[in-house]
Amino acid sequence: MQRPVWSLPLSSAVISKLNRRGYQCTADIEHLTTGVKEEEASEVLDLVDHQRYPVSITALELLQREAELKPIVTFCSELDRALGGGIPLGKTIELCGVPGIGKTQLCLQLAVDVQIPECFGGLGAQCLFIDTEGTFFLERLREMAAAVVRHCSLLTEDQEQQDAMRTFTVEKILSNLFVRCDDSMELLSQISDLPAFLSDHPEVRLIIIDSIAFPFRLHFEDLPLRTRLLLGAAHQLAALATTRNTTVVMTNQMTTRVQGEGSRLIPALGENWGHAANIRLLLQWIDCKRMATIIKSSIFSVSIILSVLLPVHT
């Protein structure tokens, strides 16, 4: 016996929707189908639930996963030693310092080093370099690439390394480096687009933003809004670093803080931003030498401050 839809024990909202779609009695809806098999629907729902509620892992499993990730060497032995072998994967790193201290030079070096073949202890990966200041020096990058290729060629011993050197060339290094020169208004959009970019370029294991400070210092007079946007961007970058096992390196400028009758240089973008990165490195001149000080780290004890000598680039 057919029943009118309005007589079913359904809410008035559901009955109204059924009526609007032309379903007046139970015969109208008895044999409806979506065209999707039950097992297919179950598979889709399981996938959706997995994406919504990620599988938990133990702290030990997380520690073991991080231990398996190779760091990116800097070729500065003191700095590599202080960082446990190099710049770690899956972390966000902030490089702070005055102009000319070597922030961009270190970024260029990392852009080359991340591409060192695995048989030489490297990652054999690619790099995305987002240049917001127009300070990307292609010729300097070419020189660094040539130096790293020469270095690896001198270390070549077995057949696997000989084979790797046939493709590890300056031209290959330059072709594995994606460069984007963005103005200030596009940086946030580029950060939002990074998940799609990484899906299309899964070999990218290093993202460099040189610099994160430049766009926000020039075009944001509303400081609370700037802080919200910065922290939102930092959250997106940290999530990408963790989920994609990708390193994010950002450079930051210095600003003057007046204290009483004196003043001192501090990293720009405010105190809240100072907690955004996993590791914060301060590059500075001390006794005419370039020094790097780890002033904040989620890996090393914050009570231990390590200073290391940086090589002077020529």
Task: Give me the chain's average pLDDT, please.
Answer: 83
Q: Which of 134, 246, 116 is nearest to 183 (CA)?
A: 134
pLDDT over threshold 70, residue 306: no
**CA 174/CA 54 separation, integer angstroms:** 37
Give the pLDDT confidence score for residue 238 in this predicted structure: 93
**pLDDT above 60 for 57:** yes
pLDDT tens for 163-205 read 999 999 999 999 998 888 766 668 888 898 999 999 999 999 9
Closest to 293 measured CA to CA, from 107, 96, 102: 96
More confident position, 201 or 224? 201
- Residues in contact with 165: Cβ distance below 8 Å, sequence separation at least 6, in sequence order: 117, 149, 152, 153, 156
**Which tokens sit at 299?**
């890996």
Rounded average pLDDT over 147-156? 94
pLDDT of residue 1: 61
Confidence of residue 305 (pLDDT cuts 50, 70, 90): very low
Return the beta strands (E) in the chain as ranges: 92-97, 126-131, 177-181, 204-210, 247-252, 254-259, 262-267, 279-286, 289-297, 307-309
pLDDT at position 106? 94
Across residues 12-38, what is the average pLDDT?
A: 72
Local structure of residue 114 (DSSP, 8 states) = T
What pLDDT score was predicted for residue 286? Answer: 83
- pLDDT > 90: what percent of the chain? 40
Confidence (pLDDT) at 99 = 92
Q: What is the pLDDT of residues 77-96, one digit of tens each?
A: 888 888 888 999 999 999 99
Per the structure block, which two tokens stand in for 197? Answer: 């970019």
Region 132-148 average pLDDT: 91
Mean pLDDT of 108-121: 95
Average pLDDT estimate for 105-125:
95
Q: Please give the pLDDT value at position 312.
A: 45
- What are the residues facing 257 on neighbouring strands? 264
Q: Among the ranges 32-36, 83-87, 116-120, 241-245, which has the highest mean pLDDT value?
A: 116-120
For 28-50, what is the mean pLDDT?
66
CA 150 to chain centre: 29
- Given a contact cutoff of 8 angstroms between Cβ atoms, the answer to whether 247 and 237 are in contact is no
CATH architecture, domain 73-309:
3-Layer(aba) Sandwich (3.40)
From the list 82, 158, 75, the residue with the least C-alpha distance to 122 is 75
The pLDDT of 62-72, averaged and rounded, is 82
- Cα separations in angstroms, 169 against 12, 71, 118, 175, 314: 70, 21, 15, 10, 22
Domain boundaries of the chain, sorted by first residue: 73-309
Task: Assign 155 a pLDDT band (cuts: 50, 70, 90).
Answer: very high
The answer on pLDDT for 39 being more than 70 is yes
pLDDT at 36: 63
Percent of the chain exceeding pLDDT 70 equals: 84
Q: pLDDT tens digits for 8-23?
A: 777 777 777 777 777 7
Residue pLDDT, tens place only, 243-262: 899 999 999 998 888 877 77
How does residue 304 score in pLDDT terms, banded at 50, 70 and 90?
Answer: very low
